[in-house]
Amino acid sequence: MTHLWLDQLPDGVVIADQHQRVEVVNAAARAMLGEGAVPGQPLEEVLALVDQHGATWWEQNEPYGGLGIRSGVPEQSWLLPDGSEVLVLARLHRAGPGAPVEQVALTLRSGRGRARLDRERSDLVATVAHELRSPLTGVKGFVQAMLNRWDVLNDEQKKLMLATVNADADRLSRLIAELLDVARLDTGRLSIYPREVDAQVLAGRVVDSVASATARTVRLDVDEPELEIFADPDKFTQVVTNLVENAVRHGDGEVVVTLRRLGEGAEFPGVSLEVSDEGEGIPEALRRRVLTKFWTQGSSGGSGLGMYIAHGLTRAHGGDLRIGDREGGGALVTVRWPSVDWRDHVR
């Protein structure tokens, strides 16, 4: 029996008959199990897999024995002869409940993907723990100082400590909100409530707010009034805020927010939002990484989620975000945002 199409699969496939003899071994399975894995050989010998204690897959699972109602073996982690991890899943085919096993079909998948995912999860936990620990340490320290020295602290000292605690609490709240946004973006559960809004009004509020909290010059440049977009106003405000604060944190000189109507040759009617600074810019090799989760550079602080969220929210509204160079030096982030309901064009 030939199953050449199985050789096109990325996962290993092994099928054995009722006599425990291998019928089919695809190319991926042979690469994992070795050249001795060929049709006609006993499944027990072909499936040379062991666990960390030396027990074999065959001994632990007894695919042709056990309860007569078993229909499969759940996915388990095992070690190949070369020591690498493989994930094995088996299906036991019977003519009916209680009947003997007529065929065993197994899939073998490399464990590298799971190991990479485990590393990413560990990195995520470590990063989140670090970001949460810093403001929590400040909160605990000042609260403990006030509890221990309340009678000897004057009103100004108490006010300063409480203001610091309040700022750290705001930082914690924002980080938690960012993490929730990331989870919603990753799972496709982001809720948006778009409508026609004035981009100039929303962007102007952000510019005024950020400018009041920094010594840097932050200004808004608009070529015409009433630049309407179709957006959830809270999400658009969040995108502008993340981009402007990122430019203030990592760039130099003046930060300029520019709003323009997209030209006739654009893919969709909308508005272009540009945020530029006069810093060193972002090297082309790093621009894709800037849009990933928890990417940070230097010692300027931040959770590393701002650009990822801005990119995700923009895409969720049918727009796009690009990173380029400002003329004369510096970074330029361009967001193209639709002015029409993009959902009408994807149905």
Domain end point (choices 131, 155, 187): 187
- Looking up residue 156, the CATH number of its domain turns out to be 1.10.287.130
Give me the residue label for tokens 């929730």: 180
Q: How confident is the model at residue 1 (pLDDT cuts 50, 70, 90)?
A: very low
Query: For 169-183, what is the mean pLDDT?
Result: 83
Q: Which domain does 288 fall in, by range?
A: 195-345
> What's the pTM?
0.62
Residues 271 and 330 in one domain: yes
Phi, psi of 269 (to 5 degrees): -70, 135
Weakest-pLDDT range from 6-10, 59-63, 111-115: 111-115
Q: In what order do the strands lie in the sheet with 85-94?
A: 22-25, 12-16, 101-110, 85-94, 72-79
CA distance linking residue 294 with residue 163, whole number of Å: 28
Q: Rounded to 5 degrees, what angle do the CA atoms 237, 286, 284 make?
A: 100
Same domain, 95 and 201: no
Q: Does residue 104 share a domain with residue 132?
A: no
Confidence band (pLDDT; 50, 70, 90) for 302?
low
pLDDT score recorded for residue 119: 66
Looking at residue 195, its pLDDT comes to 92
Query: How far is the C-alpha of 183 from the C-alpha of 179, rounded, in Å?
Result: 6
Task: Single out the residue of 319, 296, 294, 257 nearest to residue 121, CA to CA.
Answer: 294
Question: Any idea what the CATH number is for the domain that residue 58 is in?
Answer: 3.30.450.20
* 199 and 341 together in one domain: yes
161, 187, 213 - which closes a domain: 187
Across 41-45, 180-184, 298-302, 327-331, which has the greatest mean pLDDT? 41-45
Buried-exposed string 178-209: b where 16+ CB fall within 10 A, e elsewhere: bbebbebbeeeebeeebeebebbebbbebbee
Position 197 scores a pLDDT of: 94
Q: Which amino acid is at 253?
A: G
Among 70-79, 97-106, 130-139, 332-341, name the one with the lowest average pLDDT: 130-139
Q: Quick one: 11 and 106 in the same domain?
A: yes
Quote the pLDDT of residue 346. 43
End of a domain among 64, 87, 110?
110
pLDDT at 292: 80
172 and 150 belong to one structural domain:
yes
Structure tokens at 199: 């981009």
Residues 285 and 330 in one domain: yes
In a shared domain, residues 289 and 315:
yes
* Number of domains forming the structure of the chain: 3
